[in-house]
Amino acid sequence: MKFENTLAYAKKADRLDPLRAYRNRFIIPKVNSKQAIYLMGNSLGLQPKTTKKWITEELEDWAALGGNGHEHARRPWLTYHKLAKKTLAAIVGAKPTEVIAMNQLTVNLHMLMASFYTPSQERYKIITEAGAFSSDLYAVESQIRLHGLNPDTAWIELKPRENEFTLRTEDILKTIEEHGHETALILIGGVQYYTGQRFDIKAITAAGHKAGAMVGFDLAHAVGNVPLNLNKDQVDFAVWCTYKYLNSGPGAIAGAFVHEKHANATERPRMAGWWGHNEKERFQMRKGFNPMPGVDGWQVSNVPIFQAAAHLASLEIFQEAGMKALRKKSVELTGYLEYLIKEADPKGESVSIITPHDPEARGCQLSLYMKQNGRKVFTKLSKAGIIADWREPNVIRIAPTPLYNTFEDVWQFGAIFKKAL
For 129-148, what is each residue's pLDDT tens digit?
999 999 999 999 999 999 99
pLDDT band at 1 (very low <50, low <70, confident <90, very high): confident
Q: Does residue 251 contact residue 244 with C-beta atoms inside 8 Å?
A: no
Instruction: Identify whether residues 315 and 330 lie together within a single domain.
Output: no
At 331, which CATH number?
A: 3.90.1150.10
The partner residues of 92 in beta bridges, in order of sequence, read none
Which residues are registered as beta bridge partners of 35?
A: 30
Q: Are residues 229 and 252 in the same domain?
A: yes
Asked, for residue 258, whether it belongs to a domain, the answer is: yes
273: pLDDT strictly greater than 90: yes
* 15 vs 281: CA distance, rounded Å: 55
pLDDT score recorded for residue 193: 96
> Computed over its alpha carbons, how large is the radius of gyration of the chain?
22
pLDDT at residue 360 tops 90:
yes
* Single residue among 319, 352, 379 that ends a domain in this structure: 319
Domain assignment of residue 167, yes or no: yes
Q: What is the mean predicted confidence (pLDDT) over 230-256?
A: 98
- Please indicate, yes or no, whether residues 332 and 237 belong to a single structural domain of this protein: no
Residue range(s) defining the domain that contains residue 276? 78-319
| 308 and 332 together in one domain | no
Task: Give the residue from 288, 319, 350 where a domain finishes.
Answer: 319
315 with 329, same domain: the answer is no
* pLDDT over 70, % of the chain: 100
- Find the mean pLDDT for residues 380-396: 95
Which residues have CB under 8 Å from 103's CB, separation 6+?
111, 253, 254, 256, 300, 301
Residue 72 within a domain: no
Residue 339's pLDDT band (boundaries 50, 70, 90)? Answer: very high
Q: Domain for residue 67, yes or no?
A: no
Total residues found in the chain within this entry: 421
What value does the mean pLDDT take over residues 236-263?
A: 98
- Is 58 domain-assigned? no
Residue 97 carries which side chain, given as an amino acid letter?
T
Please say whether the beta carbons of 46 and 394 come within 8 A: no
Do 343 and 315 reside in the same domain of the chain?
no
Q: What would the mean pLDDT of 238-251 be, rounded to a whole number?
A: 98
**What local confidence, expressed as pLDDT, does residue 162 receive?**
96
For the chain, give the mean pLDDT.
Answer: 97
Over residues 18-63, the pLDDT tens digits come to 999 999 999 999 998 999 999 999 999 999 999 999 999 999 999 9
* Number of C-beta neighbours around residue 349 at 10 A: 10
Query: pLDDT tens digit string along 82-133?
Result: 999 999 999 999 999 999 999 999 999 999 999 999 999 999 999 999 999 9
What average pLDDT does this structure show over 361-380? 96
Tell whether 203 and 313 lie within a shared domain.
yes
- Integer CA distances (angstroms), 250 to 133, 243, 305, 382, in order: 17, 6, 15, 21
The three-class DSSP label of residue 413 is: helix
Q: Which amino acid is at 231?
A: N
pTM of this prediction?
0.96
Q: DSSP H helical segments within 16-50, as ranges? A: none
- CA–CA dist 316, 314 (Å, integer): 5
Q: Residue 72 CB: number of other CB atoms within 10 A? A: 12
